[in-house]
Structure 1
Amino acid sequence: MNKEEPVTPFGRVFLQEEGNHVINCAMYFKKSVSVESVKAEFENSILVQHPRFHSVLVRNKNNGEEYWKRGDINLDKHIFLVQDIDQYGDSSTYNILNNDEIVNGYLADLAVSSPLSIDKPLWELHVLKDQNCLVLRVNHALGDGVSVMSIVLAMCRKVDQPDQLPSIPKKNKKSSNRRINMCKMIRRLVMQIWLTIVYVMGFLLRILFLKDAKCKISGGNGVALWPRKLATAKFKLDDMKSVKNAVLYATINDVLFGVITSGLSRYLDYHQTSDSTKEGLRISGVSMVNLREQHGLQDMANLVKSISVSSWWGNKFGYILFPIYPHKRVGNDPLHYVKNAKEMLDKKKLSFEARITYAITKSVMSLLGPRATFLFINRGVCNTGFMISNVVGPQEEIMFVGNPITSLRATSSSLPHALTMHMISYFGKAEMNILVAKDIIPDPQFLAKCFEDALLEMKEASTAVSVKT
């Protein structure tokens, strides 16, 4: 990489004043962490060797160009000890706060109007010593969630094999020796084209004027600056796999969206709003889909030595809209939530929605610039009901500085949504951080329990199915 490199188009969008978006990744540990040991590890880590993490943003006032300028890192300006943060937890119930609640309160506070200073490389590490937690903050202009997760895991090692990098499960490509049926291929191609047209038109209409009906969880323009609360829904991966196995050809993502639909239905029913029992109620979610080829963590060392990082580092993603119907009739079988989610997601996977929306956004950037692109994206976000992401983490226990990690969680700067969900799976469990605008959703802990109870009900149903078969 040259000493100076232009900021990527998507990077410029995330550097707009109103959309200065920061990813907050929290790592919980078994033992206490110290600033000294963390600094010692970071001094020679792959993170500080990465060009983006020791480059300062420079804005040319004459022509408006933005570029990264390489420089040295002073870790004292990036790594901070954070103490006495009990006030960040929600103590409205007058109970003694546990570490989860304290850290969640701290992250919720960071989610609103807490940009990183452009006087230094756009990342920070907060050491929450009393809570055995590290919070890595990275501006989205440096990279998306997949990029940040890769570089975090590249600094970790397996607990049972200290010399080995963590490994991420890869999708198995199904092979088939069946003869290709030309009619099926043609039908599939026609369906791909049709679904792509339908979904892309839906995306454009969403940007222009189409909105969800107002309901208990609706956000909108300006909500990004409202105070936040954060709760965590905790799932066992074995429970999710049990449900997955009970529905033919289902995936963990199908189970996740089934849980979200069922959980939101429970939440709306409990609050009994005027819209909560409306069977036709539709809530649209938005998700960013990684469009890069998945690289192994072992390739990270080559990334540092490479001349350009643009090939698979940074932000390369498209948008997908996920319509869910919280009160669509499922009868007495909770597994129908998963079946309905699978039917919808199979169509999304078949289409080219993510790639086309990426191309549209990139074209808007090229023609109209970052400001217009931000407004373009923001309008679409304002017209949807929630945002969700799901990142697959290592399934074996890992450690950092010899200290075993107990949980990996993430959240980000607040959006015009009143509900934002980020899930990371790690070491036999999946944890979903639920960030809400507290004036709209004052009880995120209850919402988290709705999701947890939905999965448990599905697991019971899946157990009954396995007994019958």
Structure 2
Amino acid sequence: MNRKTARKPLPPVSIPSPPATDADEPLTPAGRMFLQPELDTVIHCAIGVQNPLDVDAIKEIIRNSLLLKHPRFSSVLVRDEHGRERWRRTEVEIDRHVFAVDAAERRRRRAAAGDSDEGGCAERKVNDYIAGLSAGEPLRSDKPLWEIHLLTEERCAVLRIHHALGDGISLMSMLLADCRKSDNPDAIPTLPAAESGRRRRRRSWVATAAELVMMVVYSLVYCLEFTLRVLCVGDRRTGISGGAGTELWPRKLATAKFSIEDMKTVKSAVANATINDVLFGVIASGLSRYLDHRTPNALKEGQQITGMAMVNLRPQSGLQELSDMMKSNSAAKWGNRFGILVLPVFYHSHHSEEGSNSNPLDFVKRAKKMIDRKKKSLEAHFSYKLCNIVMSTLGPKFACKCNYDIICNTSFTISNVLGPKEEITIAGNPVTFLRVNTSSIPHALTMHMVSYAGRADMQILVAKDVIPDPEFLAKCFEDSLMEMKTAAEKAAAAAAS
């Protein structure tokens, strides 16, 4: 049976021999790559709210929002006579971008597909709807590349934004610019800075030279590894492996929920660790748990499973003010400013004698050691520059092929975007959750975590023919964090006594 679905990306609007104007803006190299049919990537941001959605009021709010003042959200994609893509300003018709989703029609479609809505909670219905969008029709290119779907029954808005418009940092900054703090309606949300596991201290010239040598060595090793991943080196097949064509398969979506305080408890038990170290430790432990269940005794102890992590390359880590990002001379520019790190995790069976006697915090310690080495290298900057060079010299098709190949040669995608620390409102309606994922790529497993008001939700998008039970995978991640928290509390109690 052919499991592929017909998903034909729509080409950009072709304007015959358009005259060159100063108003037209060229696409960035990353933007051109994300528009290629094989990587036609759409970001889906789910925003849950406390009160019912008023569709007409929402449309009026959008008309007066900062979103429409940003040129990327009021420009259509055009292609000139030389085949070069450009942004051209246009009038935005709100009714073509904002849709109220009919609950009865959704139930009818699910019944026709053989799925039942009975007993389904709001979260599952939202996830099922987004999963359908992820493998469904792309955004139309005869209008600006964004849409908002209003799930009135579930009190949730789903923003569909093409990745060519910007990355997660850009879009989170855009979203928060139109939000306000719940306890102070006149104040915009706090924009947290990314944490660092290192403490700055004065170093001798010997230590500085040693660090420089390590940077050179790690950069050479990891940049070579990255290049080999693009060309030929791939993971061994496991129960979560995707591959060429997997982006066209039907999807399922589940949510793993974490407490930031629990993650901080684990972080405090490992010297100089960060939340990202804890997250990657949870991923390593959770995947090992899941593979123990799906394919017991099929993997060798210590087998490598490689992921791709997206790294923000802006000079100021964390989120930026939208007004700063829109300045032409800003160092923290709007757009796609991220590099790729190839991050391995290693399978360690929880059922083996060695695994049962190990400390759950060992997963975090291994993750921290590996990530610290990656941070000392220039791999993320190398991947970003390499993509730009390939795009400029060999064109978007070849650059797309390189990115497609490295996805096929790895096993999963992971990203982590910092959200606001405090509870927020949008148009006066309290926000209950923020969640993000992207449309299908050749990975069978993609994970995107967003923190919000002391919580962190990780969306787990899977090819359901490869991973039929993403809810169980989510529980594996949640159980791994709780096991690590228990170990951290025991270690703290032992140290105190």
Scaled to the shorter chain, the TM-score interval is over 0.9
* Distance in 2 of aligned mates of 1:389 and 1:12: 21
Is the 8 Å Cα contact of residues 293 and 312 (structure 1) preserved in structure 2?
Answer: no
Shift of 1:176: 4.7
SS in 2 for 1:11: helix
Partner of residue 310, structure 2 = 288
Q: Cα deviations across residues 327-373 of structure 1 (Å, max 9, x unaligned)? A: 17664310111111100110011111100111111110011011110
**What are the residue-to-residue correspondences of 1:153-172 with 2, within 5 Å?**
153-171=176-194
Does structure 1 residue 183 correspond to structure 2 residue 206?
yes
SS in 2 for 1:116: coil
Compared CA separation, residues 93 and 121, structure 1 to 2 (3 A): closer
Match for 1:70: what amino acid?
R
Partner of residue 221, structure 1 = 244
Is the 8 Å Cα contact of residues 311 and 380 (structure 2) preserved in structure 1?
Answer: yes
* Distance in 1 of aligned mates of 2:337 and 2:115: 41
User: Quick one: which of 342, 361, 366 aligns to 1:335?
Assistant: 361
Compared CA separation, residues 452 and 303, structure 1 to 2 (3 A): closer
Partner of residue 245, structure 1 = 268
Q: Cα deviations across residues 360-394 of structure 1 (Å, max 9, x unaligned)? A: 11110011011110001000000000000100101
Shift of 1:212: 0.5
User: Quick one: which of 153, 161, 164 aligns to 1:130?
Assistant: 153
SS in 1 for 2:484: helix
SS in 1 for 2:267: helix
Partner of residue 398, structure 1 = 424
Is the 8 Å Cα contact of residues 289 and 320 (structure 1) preserved in structure 2?
Answer: yes
Partner of residue 255, structure 1 = 278
Compared CA separation, residues 112 and 427, structure 1 to 2 (3 A): same
Q: Cα deviations across residues 285-334 of structure 1 (Å, max 9, x unaligned)? A: 00121111338878424555x45789601112111000110217664310
Partner of residue 64, structure 2 = 44
* Distance in 2 of aligned mates of 1:88 and 1:302: 44
Partner of residue 12, structure 2 = none
Is the 8 Å Cα contact of residues 112 and 228 (structure 1) preserved in structure 2?
Answer: yes
Partner of residue 3, structure 1 = 23
Is the 8 Å Cα contact of residues 250 and 464 (structure 2) preserved in structure 1?
Answer: yes
* Distance in 1 of aligned mates of 2:227 and 2:183: 50
SS in 1 for 2:144: coil
Is the 8 Å Cα contact of residues 265 and 327 (structure 1) preserved in structure 2?
Answer: yes
Match for 2:128: what amino acid?
G
* Distance in 2 of aligned mates of 1:381 and 1:368: 20
SS in 2 for 1:292: coil
Does structure 1 residue 321 correspond to structure 2 residue 342?
yes
TM-score (norm 2): 0.89
Compared CA separation, residues 91 and 455, structure 1 to 2 (3 A): farther
* Distance in 2 of aligned mates of 1:158 and 1:393: 13
User: Quick one: which of 397, 403, 411 aligns to 1:377?
Assistant: 403
Give the percent of matched residue pairs that are identical in Structure 1 and Structure 2: 48
Partner of residue 431, structure 1 = 457
* Distance in 2 of aligned mates of 1:216 and 1:303: 41
**What are the residue-to-residue correspondences of 1:292-303 with 2, within 5 Å?**
292-294=314-316, 299-301=321-323
Match for 2:99: what amino acid?
F
Shift of 1:113: 3.6
SS in 1 for 2:158: strand
Compared CA separation, residues 171 and 220, structure 1 to 2 (3 A): closer
Q: Cα deviations across residues 116-149 of structure 1 (Å, max 9, x unaligned)? A: 1110000001111110000011101000111111
SS in 1 for 2:165: coil
User: Quick one: which of 27, 40, 45 aligns to 2:47?
Assistant: 27
Shift of 1:272: 2.9
Compared CA separation, residues 415 and 26, structure 1 to 2 (3 A): same
Partner of residue 409, structure 1 = 435
Is the 8 Å Cα contact of residues 193 and 319 (structure 2) preserved in structure 1?
Answer: no
User: Quick one: which of 464, 470, 491 aligns to 1:444?
Assistant: 470
Consecutive unaligned residues of structure 2, counting only runs of 5 or more, are: 1-20
Match for 1:239: what amino acid?
D
Aligned residues: 465
SS in 1 for 2:160: strand
Match for 2:305: what amino acid?
I
Is the 8 Å Cα contact of residues 314 and 337 (structure 2) preserved in structure 1?
Answer: yes
SS in 2 for 1:131: coil
Partner of residue 16, structure 2 = none
Compared CA separation, residues 88 and 294, structure 1 to 2 (3 A): farther
TM-score (norm 1): 0.95
Partner of residue 79, structure 1 = 98
Partner of residue 56, structure 1 = 76
Compared CA separation, residues 231 and 363, structure 1 to 2 (3 A): same
Partner of residue 6, structure 2 = none
* Distance in 2 of aligned mates of 1:362 and 1:313: 16
Compared CA separation, residues 264 and 302, structure 1 to 2 (3 A): closer
Partner of residue 151, structure 1 = 174
Match for 1:78: what amino acid?
H
* Distance in 2 of aligned mates of 1:372 and 1:362: 11
SS in 2 for 1:415: coil
Compared CA separation, residues 111 and 88, structure 1 to 2 (3 A): farther
Is the 8 Å Cα contact of residues 38 and 404 (structure 2) preserved in structure 1?
Answer: no
Match for 1:286: what amino acid?
M
Partner of residue 68, structure 1 = 87
* Distance in 2 of aligned mates of 1:444 and 1:167: 33
* Distance in 1 of aligned mates of 2:303 and 2:24: 50
**What are the residue-to-residue correspondences of 1:334-373 with 2, within 5 Å?**
334-373=360-399
Is the 8 Å Cα contact of residues 275 and 281 (structure 1) preserved in structure 2?
Answer: no
Consecutive unaligned residues of structure 1, counting only runs of 5 or more, are: none
Shift of 1:3: 1.9
Match for 2:119: what amino acid?
I
Compared CA separation, residues 343 and 91, structure 1 to 2 (3 A): farther
Please, which moves more after superposition, 378-387 or 168-177? 168-177
